[in-house]
Amino acid sequence: MLLHNSYLIYFAYQLKMPFLYLMKKILCFAGSNSRHSINTILVNYVANKIIDHEVKIISLLDYELPMYSLDLENERSFSADLQVLRNIIKDHDALIISVNEHNGSISAFFKNHLDWLSRLDRNFLEGKKVLLMSTSPGARGAKSALEFCKLVLPRFGAEIVESFSFPSFQDNFSIEENKITNDVLEMGLNDMLSTFEHHINL
């Protein structure tokens, strides 16, 4: 009896048999412009846990975009950096994004990237499955920024398949040892990542 493709993929994933399902391309980045960003540390940590797919980590700092304005768009059109970033996103099946929080929302830096990308291509996240994360030094773990992105990114075509707010980063993560020190958070993150990987294989 032939198994339905989704069941075959599910069992292949559970048995860690990647040759039975297609490897996906996953793009990972943080929404922060700090070179010492804890969100960058978190997204790198999660990205390095993925072994059955092709993972690419980028820094948005490498794509210089001026503060968006309609006048600037009309005068200069769209920069090469912007088009390169859009093409990189288009070339991947899924994204892992970790966002920081400024005054109860996402940073102006990340908002500016979303503004430019959406002007170049309104549906620049179409068909992309997204694992959305956030962290901060505080107990809420940048949850307001996370919730903002959960509402906004689907407007550009994203499917948010999992989200995770990591609280009190310095209390729960050892930068020196590059590991989560809170067992409950570690289990929660692993469960979230397992669900995400299952969804991108469907």
Number of domains in the chain: 1
In a domain? residue 9: no
Amino acid identity of 44?
A: N
State the residue range of the domain holding 64: 20-200
Q: Is the pLDDT of residue 195 over 80?
A: yes
What's phi and psi for 131, nearest 5 deg?
-100, 115
In a domain, 7, yes or no: no
Indicate the residue type of 107. S
pLDDT of 13 strictly over 80: no
111: domain CATH number?
A: 3.40.50.360
**Within the chain, how many helices (H) and strands (E) appear?**
8, 7
The 10s digit of each residue's pLDDT in 99-149 is: 999 999 999 999 999 999 999 999 999 999 999 999 999 999 999 999 999
**Mean local confidence (pLDDT), 27-42:** 97
Q: How far is CA 161 from the centre of its chain?
A: 11
Confidence band of 19 (pLDDT split at 50, 70, 90):
very low
The pLDDT tens digits of the residues spanning 161-194 come to 999 999 999 999 999 999 999 999 999 999 999 9
